Amino acid sequence: MAIYETEVLIIGGGIAGAAIARGLSKYKADVTLVEKGMDFGQGITKSSSTIVNQGSNVIKFRPEYHNSRLVWAGRPLMEPLCRELQVPYQKIGSLTLFKNQAGMRHPKKMLQKFEEWSGKYMPQAEPLQLIDRETLHSWEPNINKEFIGAVYDPNIAVIDPVRLTIALAENARQNGILTMLETEVLDIWHQADRFAVETNKGTINCRYIINAAGEYVVKIAQKVNADDFALYPVKSYMAVLDQKVGNLVNHMVTMEEHGTINPTVYGNLFFGTSPGSQRLGKIHDHATDKKIADAAFEHARQLVPAISERDIINSWVGFIMYRNFEVGWHECSVGVSRWLPRFINASIGFPGICAAPAAAREMIGLLAREGLKLEQNPDFQPFRKAPPVFNELSDDEKRELMAKDQRYGHIVCRCETVTEGEIVAAIKNGARSLDGVKFRCRPGMGRCHGGFCGPKIIKILARELGISEEEVTKKGGQSRYLLHKSKELLEVE
């Protein structure tokens, strides 16, 4: 087995690990990022409802929570980051709804908290507004007519967390960080001032470990007795609706006990579990169940009665890592283990997508305090050129692209209008599986979910990677689509 040497090892290529890797690439540091999956962002990050929160909205924030402070610090960093990496960022605003004076309790608290916190903790936050019934229903004609007003929060935005994670990892690599996919950490030993990390690809010797393993963060910390914290995985359900009903709401709409419906950057709507119906789960058990799905759907219908089950095109569960399930607060565990120097846990909590950029910044300080010498990288290049998205181009730009490369004139995914040119570009940029292609340029994200375009993408992947069609997988490992050639099993040897 191979032996690798690195100064800093980051375990986990979700948004936390990728943001930290990119943050460290601003310095002359010897850093390796390992991810057990075939691609980046396929853990909790993939499950997220994609919202960049502001703080005094749906979630119970408190200045004493580390996660709240990271989210406050992270939100203003998100838009510039998305611009540098050429990934979508869209301000949608949110509406926290109420039906009567009694239902005003939560919105009133929100306004109060905003007043109290905006100057102190929320840089560049635009003020919230109380809006009346007429304004509300003119902005959102499809919401339940029983709502008589809302708190409008103009700060709320949506992003594509997986595309951002892939872009962060790509940019980190471009700036000198070594990234290793399909590399699973199996065990860790601590010897004097070094760690020896056993992976399926060999042993990695390092001085610092950043444990950003998402739902497995406690398991990784336990391997070397650095688990000075406990986390409770709370199962949360999400569903996505067909683009054809994408105009049912224009803002993120929410009511304290009725979950959330939000537009995505691609014109679909997401809805998800209300806080009241979340349940403690077992990590690794990603099965959706009818009870949690029904509760989420009923709650979504309370907000927008026209939502129909027929418009759900996919659903999934993900884990929100709570620090204390009993009292319902979500916190994070970002910091050096109190039990083991140079071992830093980076579980960013909920909401974690918006906490990630600030957690990455904080990591620099933590590593420096633990003795890592960090000199600025004079060659750091913050910008990443994203491949073209055919559907978002003007007619002239489309014509120009097709003239340069005919494959941009061949539509492979009709639901999302994705061309062969984009799929080939995704593979050139690192996609190795159907999911790798899907999360980079969206074929298979539409109504048919790859039923029509899947076989064509398998052929393109096989051709571009120089492998057989049977070797193409959904997401690595044994997730093969084609087990045998037609009638192959009948052939006599």
Ligand X SMILES: Cc1cc2nc3c(=O)[nH]c(=O)nc-3n(C[C@H](O)[C@H](O)[C@H](O)COP(=O)(O)OP(=O)(O)OC[C@H]3O[C@@H](n4cnc5c(N)ncnc54)[C@H](O)[C@@H]3O)c2cc1C
Q: How far is CA 450 from the centre of its chain?
A: 21
* Cα–Cα distance for residue pair 433/441, rounded to 1 Å: 13
**CB nearer to ligand X: pick between 61 and 390:** 61
The bridge status of strand 51-52 relative to strand 312-322 is: unpaired
Q: Tell me how far, at minimum, the Cβ of 50 lies from ligand X, in Å.
A: 6
Q: Rule CB under 6 A: is residue 236 a binding residue for ligand X?
A: yes
The SS3 assignment for 320 reads strand
Q: Rule CB under 6 A: is residue 78 a binding residue for ligand X?
A: no
The SS3 assignment for 324 reads strand
**CB nearer to ligand X: pick between 333 and 419:** 333
* Cα–Cα distance for residue pair 409/427, rounded to 1 Å: 18
Q: Tell me how far, at minimum, the Cβ of 96 lies from ligand X, in Å.
A: 15
The string of DSSP letters for 380-435 reads ------PPP-GGGS-HHHHHHHHHH-GGGG-EEETTTTEEHHHHHHHHHTT--SHH
Binding mask 354-393 for ligand X (x = CB under 6 A): x---------------------------------------
Question: Restricting to residues 45-74, which ones interact with ligand X according to CB under 6 A?
Answer: 45, 47-51, 53
Question: How distant, in Å, are the alpha carbons of 313, 378, 453 from that of 415?
Answer: 12, 44, 9
CB 339 within 8 A of CB 228: yes
Q: Rule CB under 6 A: is residue 214 a binding residue for ligand X?
A: yes
Q: Rule CB under 6 A: is residue 215 a binding residue for ligand X?
A: yes
Tokens found for residue 13 = 């290529």
The neighbouring-strand residues paired with 187 are 198
Burial of 23 (0-12, 13-18, 19+ CB in 10 A): buried
**CB nearer to ligand X: pick between 22 and 103:** 22
Q: Rule CB under 6 A: is residue 32 a binding residue for ligand X?
A: no
Residue from 319, 329, 343, 390 touching ligand X (CB under 6 A): that is: 319
Q: Tell me how far, at minimum, the Cβ of 369 lies from ligand X, in Å.
A: 22
Q: Rule CB under 6 A: is residue 43 a binding residue for ligand X?
A: yes
**CB nearer to ligand X: pick between 14 and 436:** 14
CB 470 within 8 A of CB 337: no
Total residues contacting ligand X by CB under 6 A comes to 42
CB 274 within 8 A of CB 258: yes
Binding mask 180-209 for ligand X (x = CB under 6 A): ----xx------------------------
Q: Give the count of alpha carbons within 13 A of 401, CB side only.
A: 21
Cis amide bond preceding 63, omega within 30: no
* Cα–Cα distance for residue pair 395/40, rounded to 1 Å: 32
* Cα–Cα distance for residue pair 185/195, rounded to 1 Å: 12
| Candidate segments 30-38, 76-84, 413-421, 472-480, binder of ligand X by CB under 6 A | 30-38
Binding mask 1-20 for ligand X (x = CB under 6 A): ----------xxxxxxx---
**CB nearer to ligand X: pick between 29 and 320:** 320
Q: Rule CB under 6 A: is residue 23 a binding residue for ligand X?
A: no
Q: What does residue 329 show for φ and ψ, rounded to 5 degrees?
A: -105, 140
**CB nearer to ligand X: pick between 117 and 322:** 322
The SS3 assignment for 360 reads helix
Q: Rule CB under 6 A: is residue 231 a binding residue for ligand X?
A: no
* Cα–Cα distance for residue pair 112/114, rounded to 1 Å: 5
Binding mask 258-287 for ligand X (x = CB under 6 A): --------------x---------------
Q: Rule CB under 6 A: is residue 297 a binding residue for ligand X?
A: no
Q: Rule CB under 6 A: is residue 42 a binding residue for ligand X?
A: yes
| Candidate segments 44-52, 288-296, 363-371, 435-443, binder of ligand X by CB under 6 A | 44-52
φ/ψ bin of 216: left (φ > 0), alpha (ψ from -120 to 50), beta (otherwise): alpha
Q: What does residue 90 show for φ and ψ, rounded to 5 degrees?
A: -135, 125
Q: Rule CB under 6 A: is residue 333 a binding residue for ligand X?
A: no
**CB nearer to ligand X: pick between 51 and 424:** 51
Q: What is the DSSP letter of 469?
A: G
Residue from 44, 164, 231, 296 touching ligand X (CB under 6 A): that is: 44
**CB nearer to ligand X: pick between 210 and 412:** 210
Q: Rule CB under 6 A: is residue 353 a binding residue for ligand X?
A: yes
The neighbouring-strand residues paired with 10 are 33, 210
Tokens found for residue 260 = 């959330």
Residue from 213, 240, 241, 313 touching ligand X (CB under 6 A): that is: 213
| Candidate segments 38-46, 95-103, 362-370, 439-447, binder of ligand X by CB under 6 A | 38-46
Q: Rule CB under 6 A: is residue 318 a binding residue for ligand X?
A: yes
Which residue has tokens 């418009």? Answer: 311
Residues that bind ligand X (CB under 6 A): 11-17, 34-37, 42-45, 47-51, 53, 184-185, 212-216, 220, 236, 238, 272, 318-320, 348-354
